[in-house]
Chains A and B, each alone.
Chain A
Amino acid sequence: NAGVTQTPKFRILKIGQSMTLQCAQDMNHNYMYWYRQDPGMGLKLIYYSVGAGITDKGEVPNGYNVSRSTTEDFPLRLELAAPSQTSVYFCASSFRLTGGGEKLFFGSGTQLSVL
C-alpha cells in the first residue's frame, strides 16, 4: 500500500493563478480531508469528504474547491491564488475502527507559496 499520496511537494504561484493539489489513497477509506498548517497554528480543516460524491466545508473553505468522484481521489483546487493561501497543505484519510475511534493517515504535505 502506498498510503496517502500527495503531489506536488512544493509549488510557487503568482497571485491570481490557479492550481490543483492532488491526493490519492489506496486504502479504500471513506473519509478524506484537506488541512492547512500555518506557523504556530494547529491544522485547520479546509474541506472533507465522507465518501465518493459527498463533500463538505470545513473551518476555512474560502478560496478552495474540492471534488470526490472516486473513493481514491480527493483533489483540492485553488482558484485565484492569494498570498493568504501561502501555507503547508496536508491531505489525510481515515477509517473508523470496529472498537471505536478512528485511524488517521496523512500525505507528505505540499508547501505552497503565493507571491
Chain B
Amino acid sequence: KNEVEQSPQNLTAQEGEFITINCSYSVGISALHWLQQHPGGGIVSLFMLSSGKKKHGRLIATINIQEKHSSLHITASHPRDSAVYICAVSGGTGNQFYFGTGTSLTVIP
C-alpha cells in the first residue's frame, strides 16, 4: 500500500506543451510537497502546499484537500524542465514524510 500515488510514471512532451502531473494521497497531512530531481542531481523543493494554489514562474501547484489530490502544472514546457518530479506529503509523528515514486518528465526540443 502506497500512501502517495503519482501519475503518470513517465511523460514525454514537446517543447511548449502544457504538462500536468497528478498526485493522490491516502493519509492525513499537514502539507504536500512537490520536489524536483535532475539526473544525477540532488532533490530540491519546488512547492509546499496546505491549501489552494501556488505559482512560481511557469510552475503551478494545486491541492484539493477534500479529494486528497494535487496537481503540478508546467506551462510552456522547456527541455530544462526534464527531471523527475516527486510528490511528498508530511504529517504524523516525527515529522514523517511519505514520497511518491516520481514522474520522469522528458521535454523534447
Contacts and interface: CB of A to CB of B under 8 A. Distances in A.
Contacts of B90: 94, 101-102, 104
Contacts of A100: 30-31, 50
> Which range contains the number of B residues in contact with the other chain?
20 to 34
B45 A103 contact: yes
A27 to B, nearest CB: 13
A104 B44 CA distance: 8
Interface residues of A, number: 26
B45 A105 contact: yes
Contacts of A101: 30-31, 48, 50, 90
Interface of B: 2, 4, 30-31, 33, 35, 41-45, 48, 50, 86, 88, 90, 94-102
Interface of A: 31, 33, 35, 40-43, 45, 48, 50, 56, 90, 92, 94, 96-97, 100-109
